Amino acid sequence: MQFLRRFGRAPVAQRACNSSVRRVPQKTSKSLSEIQKHLKDKIGGNLRTVIRVFHLFDYNQDGHIQQHEFRRILDNYCIHLTDKEFQ
C-alpha cells in the first residue's frame, strides 16, 4: 500500500483492508461475472490511481505487467481471489 500512497490517495476500502483477512478460504468460487463486477466496484472510481499503479509495475515500459504483480495490485485493493479464481 505504500506505493499507492506515493502516487495518489488510497481508496477508503483499501485503507480499511486488513492483511489478516488475506487468503481466507472461501466455501465457493466466484463466477467470472461476479469477479468482474467486484473489480468494477472496487476500482471504477479510482481509475487514475489504478493506471498509475499499472505504470509503476510496468518495469520495462512495454505496456504489460507480470501476473504475480497483477495479483499483488488486486490484493492491495482488497480483491482477494483464490488461485483458481485468479487463473
User: Measured between alpha carbons, how far is 49 from 54 in angstroms, rounded to an integer?
Assistant: 9
Percent of the chain residues past pLDDT 90, beyond the cut: 0
pLDDT at 26: 56
pLDDT for 19: 47
Task: Copy the grid coordinates of residue 19.
Answer: 492483511
Vertex 70 angle, CA 67 and 71, to 5°: 90
The torsion angles phi and psi of 29, rounded to 5 degrees, stand at -85, 150
CA-nearest of 11, 41, 38, 13 to 26 is 38
What's the distance, CA 2 to chain centroid? 14
Please give the average per-residue pLDDT across 14-42, as a whole number.
Answer: 68
